[in-house]
Chain A
Amino acid sequence: MKSRADLVFRILALSTLVFSLGTLAALVIDVLTDGADRLSWSFLTNLASRHPEEAGIFHALAGSIWVIVLTAMLALPLGVSAAVYLEEYGTRSRVARFIEINLANLAAVPSIIYGLLGLGVFVRLMGMGRSVMAGACTLALLVLPVVILSTREALRTVPGSIREGSYALGATRWQTIWHQVLPMAFPGILTGLILSLSRAIGETAPLITLGALTYVPFAPDGIWSPFTVLPIQVFNWVSRPQAAFKENAAAGILVLMGLLLTMNAVAVLLRDRFQRQNRT
């Protein structure tokens, strides 16, 4: 009797797992069947258009790449500096503790709120307008808590004996961090950064709130240029009633997912390569 209840429970739990994996499969198959036909070279190189069959994704793809590269350039130095402070300098100080609590809270703030922050501070107060720069600044603040967290984990993997050896040779704290700790932790830091950027590239709500336009029929030509990004273009197509635009949305999702997969693959490859270098 007891063992039967056990068995029922086990089956129930397993079917839950099967259900969630099945949903993932259904989602992928659904997007593939809707969008694969639409995917072509001209879809990647054409600009936005009112005619669904001529519309392409080039401007949005370019916008996404501009924004994400700029976000990385902002988030990497800021995030690594903050993490180095919290992990190497500020351990157990009251200021550091306060910053940690604050970071934990920020990580749970809905992304659309960051959009309102960006609108108020970057777009209006700093006068950046609805530019690539304003979008990248907003996304950088959004990913910062995650970058800091993953960087701290990477710093923690550097053994204490490395630091002590460096101190014993007369190096200062910063020399130790710059010449010993950071190079060793670098692959871990990079992997964490790319993974958090792959989260940022799918973010739609904060950029819409910022006022990134849904119809920008050209690729950005600088950091002060207006822009649109892949997920916003997908959202724009999904919200139209015509079925042909839904196909475009599915094809756009495929491009977005392709970009995501590429970034994740690069992160894994980089990690493996650096790990091998460190060993030799």
Chain B
Amino acid sequence: MRTRRLEWVIEHALLACAALSVLTTAGIIAVLAVETAGFLREVPVLEFLTGTEWTPLFANPRFGVLPLVAGTVLVSAIAMIVALPMGLLSAIYLSEYAPDGLRRVVKPVLEVLAGVPTVVYGYFALTSVTPLLQRVFPQMSGFNALSPGIVMGIMILPLVSSLAEDAMRAVPRGLREGAYALGATRMQTALQVVLPAAFSGITAAFILAVSRAVGETMIVAIAAGQQPRLTANPFVPLETMTAYIVQVSLGDTPQGTLEYRTIFAVGMLLFLMTFGLNLVSTWLRDRFREEYS
């Protein structure tokens, strides 16, 4: 009898630990929602979402978040222009071409690339990549969107590559053999049979990578500058949503003020953006799994 009661207690204690993750999600949403609600009581939601000037720390504050969103989108877009084609190419190569020995060498190295702390990538962008790019584009400023964008692309390349490779390896062998039997070359098989078959899985990988780029912080905080600016010019300093949160956290803005609440409002927007992307990615991946199970 005592043992049975003990078993019950243990099982429910373990369940409580597992439920902590649900509590974490609830905590994130609650903290962001409470502070954002406080912020929106003073700044109309329309002004926040559609305003084109972001100067909350100035004497005459303006709270239009669009410049921060534009900065985030620009840097993420540059990162994806680097990471998508290269990640896809290396995934196709690793999944369809590479001999096993090479795979065993390359995959761990890609994992190392993914495990380098982001502050190191930021240092690399600021002190090496920017000076290098300035030789090609002399008009480029010391802080800009291009250099952190490219470095961020290299950082998420392993993620794109390994997820896309997983999707392509999940395509049944029979499809490939059918293509070979019809006389297709390796490349034709890879591009015209395997790639379309793995399409939704690969798209899920891309979307997850976009979400990672949007939430990335240290590279842009170090190398992109701190000037909110509504621009598509990759050569001038700008500020992303994440870099703004870092900027305010480093300063001594008093707690409870409107300026202080801005980081939670921006954080809420960031959370909603990445959460939406993750949901789409999960949905696509589940659909992909169903196709081949």
Q: Which residues of A contact B (CB under 8 A)?
A: 2-3, 5-6, 9-10, 12-14, 16-17, 19-21, 23-24, 26-27, 30-31, 34, 77-78, 81-82, 84-86, 89-90, 95-96, 98-99, 102-106, 108-117, 119-121, 124, 141, 144-145, 148, 172-174, 198-199, 201-205, 208-211, 214, 231, 234-235, 238-239, 246, 249-250, 253, 256-257, 260
Contacts and interface: CB of A to CB of B under 8 A. Distances in A.
How would you classify the secondary structure of chain A's contact residues: helix, strand, loop or mixed? helix
A26 B93 CA distance: 23
Nearest to A78: B17
A204 B278 CA distance: 23
A238 B123 contact: yes
B222 to A, nearest CB: 6
B2 to A, nearest CB: 11
Nearest to A250: B123
Contacts of A10: 93, 97, 187
B275 A256 contact: no
A78 B97 CA distance: 42
B274 A110 contact: yes
B226 to A, nearest CB: 10
Looking at chain B's contact residues, the main secondary structure is: helix
B132 to A, nearest CB: 10
12 contacts: A13-B97, A14-B93, A30-B128, A34-B127, A78-B20, A105-B279, A111-B217, A112-B246, A116-B264, A173-B11, A211-B249, A250-B123
B32 to A, nearest CB: 7
Given A16-B89, A78-B17, A204 B117 contact: yes
A205 to B, nearest CB: 4
B218 A110 contact: no
B216 interface: yes
A118 B50 CA distance: 29
Size bin of chain B's contact surface: 35 or more
Given A82-B21, A113-B271, A108 B211 contact: yes
Contacts of B200: none
A21 B14 contact: no
Nearest to B19: A99
Contacts of B246: 112, 205, 208-209
Given A111-B217, A198-B115, A116 B263 contact: yes
Nearest to B256: A124
Contacts of B222: 235, 238-239
Nearest to B11: A89
Contact of A13 (B32, B90, B271): B90
